[in-house]
Structure formats: structure tokens, C-alpha cells
A and B are shown apart, each in its own frame.
Chain A
């Protein structure tokens, strides 16, 4: 499974959304209905899956699905 596919799967599971909703330009808060606790948990799930540490400053810049793909791709 590609990094992108893995991130997408985490987003689907954590936010309880459908695959179709997880478009690259989708905003976690505005389009996928996430609140601040959802985002914290999403970041932790990605940290666990990819064995990375995402510090708070970086986490606050992950606003859209594409941001998450880019961030994890860069860490890899």
C-alpha cells in the first residue's frame, strides 16, 4: 500500500468518513467535520503508523488532506 493510501485509510477510520469524501483538497475541519480532539487523535494515529514524531507547530499546518500526504511523504 502506498503512503498516500495508508494516510487515506487512517483518515477514513479516525474521522468516520467515506473514501469519496477524502479528496486531496478537503479540509479536515470544514469538509470532514473534524474538531480539535479529532485532529489530535488523527496526528497520533499517523505518528504510530509511520513511526514519526509530528511536533505541534508542524501539526497545526496540516489542515487539508494533501498537507498530510506531503508531510508524511517528506518524513519518509
Chain B
């Protein structure tokens, strides 16, 4: 069986910068920030009081009220974003092609909002007052489940849960599914919504969140900067329509980028810390580049995991040096989380969207708040704003708790 070429024919996102692709991209390349004080609950007693929240999202604008009420916010993001994606890709799911269209989404945690709400109900009203919808609302695979119900996609229906790497893993596996001919198209990416008291307190306890910049939220996420002090929790969704080249060409679809490689590794090291020798991260990038069959020197841009935590940014920089040698210093490295916060399981989806736009628009977003040099992080992270540059390749990285690493390599589509 011949392998299929895989292309990206649609993009959609709901994130702290904006609730559609064009708004988000304009704000991203202008260096704007989507991070502000937490409004979804009273965070005044919390050490970290800021987040990258999605603004002005009204589920009823996208989903009939009865169904919307039975969805956690992360599923609402997924369904609303999938509707955007179907419009953007102009892909029509029909009786003939439905079973060849998959839905493969990354979700890091699932319905934390729902768990907290019904646990309160359980303790206040007792076990017989729990809604029959509470379990279907919280389970992470309800995101692809509901997307399938709303779009009619009847192919493989799966969720990938690998913490902060979930979205990138989903895209990588969707790529392989089409490459090997099991699907013609896959709705993929990531969705997440965990800006809740339990979510924020949990990440705070791990000392993973930035807690010293509550007064200047737009300055708080500073990947690779010498004064970085933790990540900012974010939420949202980023979806891509992956399609075989022949399917895309047959319907005359606009092609935003080609997907040419996927790498996925485990650290065998620690629950939450990355390996100091960056072995797993480096091997993930190498696997993606080798699958594409190119030299490392051909890669010119990295859409970094870049979380703004001390450990990740140092280890990821080390990994890039390990993979690229001297060429590492010539790479343009962007960390979108500097402007959106960390969308956790949705990060790989949203950053996959931005990676494709980097190739399609010929503009490379920068890294906001990269101001103070750190000897451990000495590559070209570009600083705030963006640069007009026609990239040929963007390597999108995301790494997660558990020591899980994922990299997807996007290539400029040139026929």
C-alpha cells in the first residue's frame, strides 16, 4: 500500500487571544496578550490569580441550549470550534464519506468544572441528587463524541490524554491514520478548560504556576526569559482538518501546510520533571525529522513547548542543541504560550494552527516578554512581536507530565 501525503485544509481556534482564527492570528503577530485576572471564580485566596481565559464565549451562540447545558465547557469549546473548522475547511461530510472521517482530539484532564460542581452537590444534597449526565459530561472522550454527533463524522473517534502533549499527540496520530490510508480526513487538535479552583490549586501545589506577577498579568508568561517563574494556566481549543492530498486536490481545497513527520517518546525518568539531559525531548524531534526524510539543517522554525517554567525551557533549549548542533542558533524559536498562557491539552492544537499560519502567511510569531538573557537559554527566541520570514518547516513541540514528548513537523505546501 502506498503511503498518502497529508495536508492541512482547515483551521479553527477559540483561545485567550480571540474566538476565531483571524482575530487570534492578528493579535498573536502584534505581540498582544490574552492573559488577565481570573474571572471564572473568586481567586482572591489563591497564590496565582491570573489566567489566559477565553472571553465572551456564549455556548448558546453555537449549540442548542438543551445540549449545551449537558456539556462541560471543554466540550462546548470542542463543538463550537469544530463548527468553525467545517466552515473554514469547506469539507462536506456525506453518507458516502462519513466513515472515512475521524475525530481525534487531545484533552489533558477533562471535565474538572463538572466534577467540582457535582461533588458539591453530592456533599450538600446526597447521593440521590446527582444528575444522570454528570459522568457523560466529565469524561474526556465526550469532546470527540459530541464533535462526531454534531458533524456526522463516523470514522475513528478517540481522545489522546498525555497531559500538555495531548493536542500534539492527537495531530500526530491523525497524520499517521491518513498516511496509512485508514482515513481520508481527520478532525484533530486539542480542547481544554480547567481554570477552576481545583485546577489552579493543583498546579499551584506543584509549584508550576507563576505566582509573583498577579499585578502585571501580561508580563507573567515569559518563556526562555531569565526572570521566568512558572506557567500561566490557559484554556481553549485549536482544531485542524487533516486530509489526504488526493482528497484535498479532488475537491480543490485550500492547503495551509503539509504534515510530514511525527515523533513521540517517553522519558522513563520522573512524574513531573523533564530529564536534565533532554534525551526524550530530543529524540521526539529527531523522530519527526527522520520520518520526513530531511536533514536537521532544513528545519528553520520551532514552535516551542516554551512554558515559562524554569525546568522546561532549559531542558527544551538543551534538546534543540542536541538535535540541531550549531544550526540550533539559526532557528527561529516561537513560544505562543507567552501570549495565551498554557492551554494544557489544547496547547498542541492551538499551536498547530499557529504553526500552519506561520507557513501560510510567511510571518513568524515571536516570544513575548523575552527580555532578560539566561545563560541556559541562549537561542533565537525572537522577542515580542513577529518577523516577516517565509519558513519552510515548523516543528511543533509539546511535552507533558509523566515524561511524555510529542513533535509534529509541518512543511510549507508547494505542490
Chain B residues with Cβ below 8 Å from A44 are 129, 131
Let me know if B66 is at the binding interface, CB within 8 A.
yes
Query: When chains A and B are docked, how far (Å) is the Cα of A15 from the Cα of B64?
Result: 11
Q: Are B132 and A40 in contact (CB under 8 A)?
A: yes
Let me know if B133 is at the binding interface, CB within 8 A.
yes
Let me know if B65 is at the binding interface, CB within 8 A.
yes
Residue of B at shortest CB range from A53?
B128
Residue of A at shortest CB range from B129?
A44
Q: CB within 8 Å of B: which of A4-34?
A: 14-16
Residue of B at shortest CB range from A47?
B129
Let me know if A1 is at the binding interface, CB within 8 A.
no
Q: Are A37 and B132 in contact (CB under 8 A)?
A: yes
Considering only CB atoms and an 8 Å cut-off, how many residues of chain B contact the other chain?
8
Q: Are A16 and B66 in contact (CB under 8 A)?
A: yes
Contact of B131 among A15, A16, A41 (CB under 8 A): A41
CB distance from A46 to the nearest CB of B (A): 12
Contact of B66 among A15, A47, A48 (CB under 8 A): A15
Chain B residues with Cβ below 8 Å from A14 are 66
Query: When chains A and B are docked, how far (Å) is the Cα of A28 from the Cα of B3?
Result: 52
Interface string of A30-58 (1 = CB under 8 A from B): 00000001001100100110000000000
Chain A residues with Cβ below 8 Å from B132 are 37, 40-41
Chain B residues with Cβ below 8 Å from A47 are 129
CB distance from B114 to the nearest CB of A (A): 14
Q: Are B133 and A37 in contact (CB under 8 A)?
A: yes
Chain A residues with Cβ below 8 Å from B133 are 37, 41
Chain B residues with Cβ below 8 Å from A16 are 64-67
Interface string of B120-135 (1 = CB under 8 A from A): 0000000001011100
CB distance from B112 to the nearest CB of A (A): 21
Q: CB within 8 Å of A: which of B59-94?
A: 64-67
Query: When chains A and B are docked, how far (Å) is the Cα of A44 from the Cα of B125?
Result: 12
CB distance from B67 to the nearest CB of A (A): 8
Chain A residues with Cβ below 8 Å from B131 are 40-41, 44
Residue of B at shortest CB range from A15?
B66
Chain A residues with Cβ below 8 Å from B66 are 14-16
Residue of A at shortest CB range from B64?
A16
CB distance from B336 to the nearest CB of A (A): 37
**A residues at B contact (CB < 8 Å):** 14-16, 37, 40-41, 44, 47-48
Can you name 16 A-B residue pairings with CB atoms under 8 Å?
A: A14-B66, A15-B66, A16-B64, A16-B65, A16-B66, A16-B67, A37-B132, A37-B133, A40-B131, A41-B131, A41-B132, A41-B133, A44-B129, A44-B131, A47-B129, A48-B129
Chain A to chain B: the 4 pairs with minimum beta-carbon distance, closest first: A16-B66, A37-B132, A40-B132, A16-B65
- Having A16-B65, A37-B133, A44-B131, one finds 14 other A-B pairs with CB under 8 Å, namely A14-B66, A15-B66, A16-B64, A16-B66, A16-B67, A37-B132, A40-B131, A40-B132, A41-B131, A41-B132, A41-B133, A44-B129, A47-B129, A48-B129
